[in-house]
Chains A and B, each alone.
Chain A
Amino acid sequence: MAVARIQSIANHLSGKDNKSKLLAKNPDDIVVTVAKRTPLCKARRGAFKDASSDELLIETMKAARENIGIDPALIGDIVVGTVLTPGAPYAARAAALTAGFPCAPFELLLTLAPADTVPVQIVNRFCSSGLMAIQSISNAIRNGEIEIGLAVGFEDMSNNPDDGAPKYAAETMALPVGRDCTMPMGWTSENVAGEFNISREAMDAWAAQSMQRAEAAQKAGIFEAEIVPVTVPQKQADGSVKHVKVTRDDGIRAGTTAEGLAKIKGAFKQWPPTQTTGGNASQITDGGAFVLLMTRRKAQELHLPILAKHIATVTSGLAPRIMGIGPSVAIPKLLNQLGLTTNDIDLYEINEAFASMMVYCVDKLGLDPSKVNVNGGAIALGHPLGCTGARQVATVLNAAKSRPEAKLIVTSMCIGLGMGASSLFYNEQAL
Chain B
Amino acid sequence: MLPPAAPPVPPALRMRTPGYAHHSLKFSPFFDNRIALASGANFGLVGNGRVHIVNMSPGGLVVEKYFDTQDCVYDIAWNEAHENQVLAVCGNGALRMFDITLTGLPVAAWHEHTAEVVGADWSNIEKGLFATASWDGSAKVWSVDRATSITTLPTGAGQCYSALFSPHTPSLLSTAGQDGTVRLWDLRTTANPRPGVAFQPQMSFRAGPAEILAADWNKYHPGVLATAGKDGVVRVWDTRNPSRPTAEMQGHSLAIRKVQWSPHHADILASSGYDMTARVWVTRPSPAQIHVTAAHTEFTMALGWALFQEGLLATASWDQELHVYQNV
A423 CA / B92 CA spacing, docked (Å): 50
Nearest CB on A from B253, distance (A): 3
Is B253 within 8 A of A21, CB to CB? yes
A 26-58 contacts with B by CB, 8 A: 26-28
Is B250 within 8 A of A24, CB to CB? yes
Is A26 within 8 A of B45, CB to CB? no
Is A16 within 8 A of B292, CB to CB? no
Chain A minimum-CB-distance residue to B229: A12
Is A1 within 8 A of B159, CB to CB? no
Nearest CB on B from A124, distance (A): 32
A304 CA / B1 CA spacing, docked (Å): 12
Interface string of A296-313 (1 = CB under 8 A from B): 100011111000000000
Q: Which of A12, A27, A301, A303 contacts B255 (CB 8 A)?
A: A12
Contacts of B294 in A (CB 8 A): 26-28
Contacts of B116 in A (CB 8 A): 4-5
Interface string of B267-280 (1 = CB under 8 A from A): 00000001101000
Interface string of B28-54 (1 = CB under 8 A from A): 000000000000000011100000000
A15 at the interface (CB under 8 A from B): yes
Interface string of A394-431 (1 = CB under 8 A from B): 00000000000000000000000000000000000010
A11 CA / B230 CA spacing, docked (Å): 8
A71 at the interface (CB under 8 A from B): yes
How many residue pairs, one in A and one in B, have C-beta atoms under 8 Å apart? 79
Chain B minimum-CB-distance residue to A21: B253
Contacts of A27 in B (CB 8 A): 277, 292-294
A217 at the interface (CB under 8 A from B): no
Assign chain A's interface to a size class: 20 to 34
A20 at the interface (CB under 8 A from B): yes
Q: A5 with B251: in contact, given A70-B3, A71-B2, A302-B3 (CB under 8 Å)?
A: no
A59 CA / B6 CA spacing, docked (Å): 31
Is A20 within 8 A of B232, CB to CB? yes
Is B230 within 8 A of A12, CB to CB? yes
Q: Which of A6, A23, A69, A296 contacts B45 (CB 8 A)?
A: A6
Q: A26 with B255: in contact, given A5-B44, A16-B232 (CB under 8 Å)?
A: no
A24 CA / B234 CA spacing, docked (Å): 13
Nearest CB on B from A161, distance (A): 38
Is B45 within 8 A of A2, CB to CB? yes
Nearest CB on A from B111, distance (A): 15
Is B232 within 8 A of A24, CB to CB? yes
Q: A301 with B2: in contact, given A5-B45, A5-B91, A21-B253 (CB under 8 Å)?
A: no
Contacts of A304 in B (CB 8 A): 3
A25 at the interface (CB under 8 A from B): yes
Q: List 27 A-B contacts (CB under 8 A).
A: A1-B46, A1-B91, A2-B46, A4-B115, A4-B135, A5-B45, A5-B46, A8-B159, A11-B211, A12-B254, A13-B255, A15-B230, A16-B230, A16-B231, A16-B253, A16-B255, A20-B231, A21-B253, A24-B252, A26-B292, A27-B277, A70-B2, A70-B3, A103-B1, A302-B3, A302-B6, A430-B286
Which A residues fall within an 8 A CB radius of B? 1-2, 4-6, 8-9, 11-13, 15-16, 20-21, 23-28, 69-71, 103, 296, 300-304, 430
Which 8 A-B pairs rank lowest in CB-CB distance, beginning with the nearest? A24-B253, A2-B46, A12-B255, A301-B6, A2-B45, A25-B251, A303-B3, A21-B253
List 10 additional contacts besides A4-B115, A20-B250, A71-B2; criterion CB under 8 Å. Answer: A2-B46, A12-B213, A12-B255, A12-B257, A16-B231, A26-B294, A27-B293, A27-B294, A70-B3, A301-B6
